[in-house]
Amino acid sequence: MATDLGLTLTEHLRILFDTAALVLIWLVQLVIYPAFRHFRSAEFRAWHPHYTRQVSYVVMPVMLGQLALYGWCFITHPGGEVVINFILILVIWGITFLRAVPLHGALDRAEDHLPLSAALLRVNGWRTLLWTAVWVVTLIASVGK
């Protein structure tokens, strides 16, 4: 089913989820994680668990929706841009759950959160780059219609 813009519902959903992920990751990279360095350690340890719980309510629906959408696209119509983005999203999930989540866990316990915050910002830089690439691939594929 195509819309008046020539895009299918699936393509609109890809734009929606990829743009949501892009905005979230850049907000985290440019605003949220750099703000960690402005906390004293005791206040940070009290605040950080609340932050991670609350931000999960925003981030997880976007990540799960994007993963499900690309998984479905990969199975039903695996065009080149779908395959590229699905692989990039799988890499993002790997970085998220193998590096970023453990760093957040360590931050909850750290006496000095600043070195781990800097490490988290570096790890998140890779996720920012990859989610930006996903968005660009989707944009190029959509504009080319």
Domain membership of residue 105 (yes or no) is: yes
Per-residue pLDDT at 34: 98
| CA–centroid distance for 48 within its chain | 19
Range scoring the smallest mean pLDDT among 4-8, 18-22, 60-64, 101-105: 4-8
Range scoring the smallest mean pLDDT among 5-9, 53-57, 117-121, 135-139: 5-9
Domain membership of residue 2 (yes or no) is: no
Residues forming beta bridges with residue 8, ordered by sequence position: 2
Domain membership of residue 23 (yes or no) is: yes
**Which has the closest alpha carbon to 118: 22, 52, 29?**
29
Per-residue pLDDT at 4: 52
Mean pLDDT score, 34-59: 96
Domain membership of residue 77 (yes or no) is: yes
Domain membership of residue 45 (yes or no) is: yes
Per-residue pLDDT at 2: 47
Domain membership of residue 3 (yes or no) is: no
| Other C-beta atoms lying within 10 Å of the C-beta of residue 39 | 16
* Phi-psi region at 6: left, alpha or beta (left = phi > 0; alpha = psi -120 to 50): left
Whole-number average pLDDT of the chain: 95
Domain membership of residue 4 (yes or no) is: no
Range scoring the smallest mean pLDDT among 3-7, 48-52, 89-93, 96-100: 3-7
Domains identified in the chain, total number: 1
Is the per-residue pLDDT at 69 higher than 60? yes
Domain membership of residue 1 (yes or no) is: no
Owning domain of residue 101: 9-143
Residues forming beta bridges with residue 66, ordered by sequence position: none
